[in-house]
Amino acid sequence: MNRGFIGLLILIIIALAALKYFLDWSIFDAADSEQGRNTIEYIKNILNISWSYIRIPIFFIWEKILEFRQSS
């Protein structure tokens, strides 16, 4: 699990570096603008609402997976 997480972080860093190099676009510059802050706030709200709906089923499924792994 940690290997996948670290790989994902490295992929995000590489993607942001590629955006800066090829398109001269920086996430920090985008977040400094009013529209950028509003967009980030909107995305954060969408993710929080989505997580509140799917959290319980995901935890239930995860517990079942762990039970299955321990029993086999």
Residues 6+ apart with CB under 8 A from 39: 30
* pLDDT tens per residue across span 46-61: 999 999 999 999 999 9
Best CA proximity match to 38, nearest among 6, 16, 46, 55:
46
Domain residue spans of the chain: 1-25, 33-72
* pLDDT tens per residue across span 5-59: 888 889 999 998 998 888 888 888 888 889 988 988 999 999 999 999 999 999 9
31 vs 16: CA distance, rounded Å: 13
Per-residue burial over 47-72, b = 16 or more CB atoms within 10 Å of its CB, e = otherwise: eeeeeeeeeeeeeeeeeeeeeeeeee
pTM: 0.55
